[in-house]
Amino acid sequence: MKPEVFDVENADIAWCSGCGNFSILSTLKIVLAELEIDARELVLVSGIGQAGKLPHFLKSHTYNSLHGRSLSPATAIKAVNKDLKVIVTSGDGDMYGEGGNHFMHTIRRNPDITCIVHNNMVYGLTKGQASPTTLRGMRTSFQVEGVSEEPFNPLVVALALDASFVARTFSGDIEHMKETFKSAINHKGFSLVDVFQPCVTFNKINTYQWFKENTYHLEDFHDPTIKMKHLRESWKKINIL
């Protein structure tokens, strides 16, 4: 199967040039093709935000939901028809802010769905306000004196809730992202993939360069016995699982 089967004809892509979303989209298509997933058996579910638009650019059944609400319909769709492959695409504001409660409880439910969170540490669609993952000190039009809160750490929360699959990758590390998506989609149960992704328009701090310099690979990726170590690693501000 070729990734092009997932292309949407005449799609009016709404992302800025250079956006990390592009490589997430193209990598997801490659992975779906490699896994031989039929578009007719695939439902992409999203919320609102720049990441939430992804399903409109990938040929599949699509359930574009409300802001923060993607996990609830995704859970129900899978419960109603287990033959469907259900993948959620969301952003840091959508998933960890507006959808925070659903995020926690969906992890507890552990439905067989994959949740990809485009984490650019800033709000894009509403133009540059802080998201739950924005680093302290960043000034925005709303946080005029800089963000004062500690950023939300989705990996620690997911691990603490005993999520069955937790991963982080980076949109600038295509190979790693591809393997991570693949493992997540193949995982039976809830799989969380937090994808670091630069916002070229609104986040001048967490750039491609910055991510390259501040991230590293964990080598013992698949060893489930080292959850506590992962938890400790996740406490550090930035890393790749």
| Whole-number Cα distances in Å, 7 to 13, 114, 140 | 12, 20, 35
In terms of CB distance, is 13 or 174 closer to another protein? 13
Closest to another protein by CB, 59 vs 176, is 59
17: left (phi > 0), else alpha (psi -120 to 50), else beta?
Answer: beta
**Cβ–Cβ under 8 Å, residues 115 and 88:** yes
- Report how far residue 210's alpha carbon sits from residue 212's, in angstroms, rounded to the nearest whole number: 5
Least separation in angstroms between residue 63's CB and another protein is 6
Give the nearest distance from C-beta 96 to another protein in angstroms: 15
**Closer by beta carbon to another protein, 85 or else 118:** 85
Give the residue with the Cβ less far from another protein, 62 or 164.
62
What sign has the CA pseudo-torsion 184, 185, 186, 188? positive
- In terms of CB distance, is 48 or 192 closer to another protein? 48
Q: Which of 57, 177, 33, 164 is nearest to 117 (CA)?
A: 177
Kind and range of the H or E run holding 42: strand 42-46
Considering the complex, what minimum distance in angstroms separates the CB of residue 95 from another protein?
14
Cβ 85 to another protein, closest distance in Å? 10
Residue 124's alpha-carbon distances to 70, 95, 150, in angstroms, are: 18, 14, 20
C-alpha torsion sign, points 49, 51, 53, 55: negative
The three-class DSSP label of residue 148 is coil
For the bound state, the minimum distance from the C-beta of residue 237 to another protein, rounded and expressed in Å, comes to 29
Select 78 or 176, whichever has its Cβ closest to another protein. 78
Residues that bind another protein (CB under 8 A): 8, 11, 14, 39-41, 43, 45, 48, 53, 55-56, 59-66, 69, 72-77, 79-81, 83-84, 101-102, 104-105
Closer by beta carbon to another protein, 105 or else 232:
105
> In the bound complex, what is the minimum distance in angstroms from residue 72's beta carbon to another protein?
4
**Shortest CB 156 distance to another protein, Å:** 20
Distances (CA, A) of 83 to 14, 58, 120, 192: 31, 20, 32, 20
Distance CA 177, CA 229 (A): 22
